[in-house]
Amino acid sequence: MKKLTSFFVLCFGLVLLSAFVRPSGGYQVGDTATDFKLKNVDGKLMSLADNKAAKGFIVVFTCNTCPYAQAYESRIIDLHKKFAPQGYPVVAINPNDPAVAPGDSFEKMQARATSKKYPFPYLLDETQNVAQTYGATRTPHLYVLTRHGNALKVAYIGAIDDNSEEPTAVKTKYVENALTDIMAGKPAATNSTKAVGCTIKWKKA
């Protein structure tokens, strides 16, 4: 009985501790990612659960207007072309409030997705809840999710590669390396990287 009590005390302590360890919110590698239901540029609502065949997802918070997002746009398209056939499609999410960034309105998203022939969904996070839940702070900000049964877990957070300006000068392809590890059944050797980007344009309170 005494053992059981101390077990419960320990559990309670851990729960209490975990509440304090992560006060700022947002995902860390290893966390379970919650699904969402967001409007795609084709006008239909989309969830990750719609694609049960996927082994995981490359979720990227991006937008029309940020120069860094633009610099990485074609590389995001290439990521999808390379990894969707291997079970890891790209899902792009625009978290910006169009009232603050008019160039990121739903209509402008549709126009961009059409003109650049996005091969992946481009979703609007109208309430900004998804960006907040994930802990996204900038565009582009990328998360690799891997499937564990019905759950999706965060396996990588961060940058796409090590040179935003010059794709030909890239030395380390952070996301591709992470995905290579993951597809080999290993955790990503580098599972978190930092990148410069534009602030997410949050709704003015």
Asked if 138 touches other proteins (CB under 8 A), the answer is yes
Amino acid (one-letter) located at 170: V
Describe the strand order of the beta sheet including 141-148 as a list of residue ranges.
32-33, 151-158, 141-148, 56-61, 90-94, 122-124, 38-40, 45-46
DSSP 19: H
Asked if 133 touches other proteins (CB under 8 A), the answer is no
Based on the number of CB atoms within 10 Å of its own CB, is 55 exposed (0-12), middle (13-18) or buried (19 or more)?
middle
Give the contact letters, 40-69, x = binds to other proteins (CB under 8 A), - = no: ---------------------------x--
Give the contact letters, 157-196, x = binds to other proteins (CB under 8 A), - = no: -xx--xxxxx--x-xx-x------------------xxxx
Q: Report 66-95 residues binding other proteins (CB under 8 A).
A: 67
Instruction: Give dist(CA 56, CA 153) in Å, integer.
Output: 9
Rounded to a whole number of angstroms, the distance between the first and last alpha carbons of the chain is: 52
The only residue of 80, 141, 175, 179 in contact with other proteins, by rule CB under 8 A: 141
Identity of the residue, 91 or 159, whose beta carbon is nearer to other proteins in the bound complex: 159
Q: Report the nearest approach of other proteins to the CB of residue 95 (Å).
A: 12
Binding site for other proteins (CB under 8 A): 67, 137-138, 141, 158-159, 162-166, 169, 171-172, 174, 193-200
